[in-house]
C-alpha cells in the first residue's frame, strides 16, 4: 500500500510537470519535486540541478517551496521541494502549495534561481520577503538562491547568516517536453 501511494504521488507530480510543459534535465538523476532528500541543503541542490538549466535557457527565474517529508520505505524524515513556479527575468512568486498551509510546521523555506545578470547573491527583496514570510510562518527559516555562477547560497533568517552551501556547480542543458 505504501509503495502504491508513492507511485501515485510520483505520477501526479510527473503529470504536473508535463502539464507545465517542462521536463528538467535532472529527471533521470532523481532530483524532481517530491523526491526525498536527507537535508534541506540537498533539496536545494536537487532543485538547482533540475531547474537552473531552464533558467539559463529561458532567462527567467524559477522558485519552489522546501518542506519536510517522510520516507515510508525507510521510516526517515527528510526534505523535498514543491513543483516550481515560473517567474520572469527579475522575480518569481514562491507560494507554498495550498495543502501545505494546513500544516505550516512542515515548511522549511524556499529556493529560487537567478538568470544571467541576476547576480550571485540574494537581492534586497529576497531578504525582505523572506523575513515577512518568516514572520507569518514561524517555522519558515531558510531561503536559497541558485546562481548562474554555480553557487547555491543559503540565508538563515534566525541567525541572519548568508552562506555558500555549494559551489562550482555545472549545469547540464535542459530539454523541453517536445524534445524528450
SS (H, E, C) 103-131: CHHHEEEEEEECCCCCCCCCCHHHHHHHH
In this predicted structure, which of 35-39, 97-101, 152-156, 176-180 has the lowest mean pLDDT?
A: 176-180
Q: Which residue has better confidence, 70 or 18? A: 70
Question: What's the burial of 152, exposed, middle or buried (CB within 10 Å: 0-12/13-18/19+)?
Answer: buried
- Calculate what percentage of the chain has a pLDDT beyond 70: 77
Confidence of residue 134 (pLDDT cuts 50, 70, 90): confident
Q: Which residue has better confidence, 176 or 154? A: 154
Residue 17, pLDDT > 60, answer: no
First-to-final CA distance of the chain: 31
> What was the pLDDT predicted at 117?
83
Please state, rounded to an integer, the average pLDDT across all residues of the chain: 79
- Strands 107-113 and 152-156, sheet pairing: unpaired
Question: What's the burial of 77, exposed, middle or buried (CB within 10 Å: 0-12/13-18/19+)?
Answer: exposed
The stretch 155-179 carries a mean pLDDT of 78
> What was the pLDDT predicted at 14?
41
The residues near 153 (Cβ < 8 Å, ≥ 6 apart) are 120, 121, 122, 144, 145, 147, 162, 163, 164, 165
What are the boundaries of each domain within the chain? Answer: 2-179
Which parts of the chain fold into alpha helices (H)? 2-19, 40-58, 124-136
The residues near 11 (Cβ < 8 Å, ≥ 6 apart) are none
> What was the pLDDT predicted at 18?
37
pLDDT 10s digits, 35-93: 999 999 999 999 999 999 999 999 999 999 999 998 888 888 999 999 999 999 988 98
C-alpha torsion sign, points 172, 118, 124, 62: negative
Confidence of residue 30 (pLDDT cuts 50, 70, 90): low
For Cα atoms 65, 15, 177, give the angle at the middle one, nearest 5 degrees: 95
> What was the pLDDT predicted at 175?
52
Rounded-to-integer distance, Cα 1 and Cα 167, Å: 40
Amino acid at each position: 500500500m505504501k509503495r502504491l501511494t508513492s507511485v501515485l504521488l510520483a505520477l501526479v507530480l510527473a503529470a504536473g510537470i508535463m502539464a507545465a510543459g517542462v521536463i528538467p534535465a535532472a529527471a533521470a538523476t532523481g532530483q524532481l519535486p517530491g523526491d526525498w532528500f536527507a537535508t534541506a541543503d540537498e533539496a536545494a541542490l536537487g532543485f538547482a540541478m533540475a531547474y537552473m538549466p531552464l533558467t539559463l535557457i529561458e532567462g527567467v527565474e524559477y522558485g519552489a517551496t522546501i518542506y519536510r517529508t517522510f520516507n515510508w520505505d525507510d521510516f526517515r524524515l527528510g526534505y523535498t521541494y514543491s513543483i516550481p513556479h515560473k517567474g520572469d527575468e527579475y522575480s518569481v512568486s514562491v507560494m507554498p502549495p495550498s495543502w501545505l498551509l494546513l500544516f505550516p510546521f512542515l515548511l522549511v523555506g524556499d529556493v529560487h534561481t537567478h538568470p544571467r545578470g541576476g547576480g550571485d547573491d540574494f537581492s534586497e527583496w529576497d531578504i525582505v520577503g523572506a523575513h515577512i514570510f518568516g514572520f507569518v510562518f514561524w517555522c519558515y527559516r531558510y531561503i536559497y538562491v541558485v546562481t548562474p555562477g554555480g553557487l547555491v547560497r543559503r540565508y538563515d533568517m534566525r541567525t541572519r547568516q548568508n552562506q555558500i552551501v555549494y559551489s562550482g556547480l555545472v549545469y547540464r542543458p535542459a530539454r523541453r517536453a517536445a524534445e524528450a
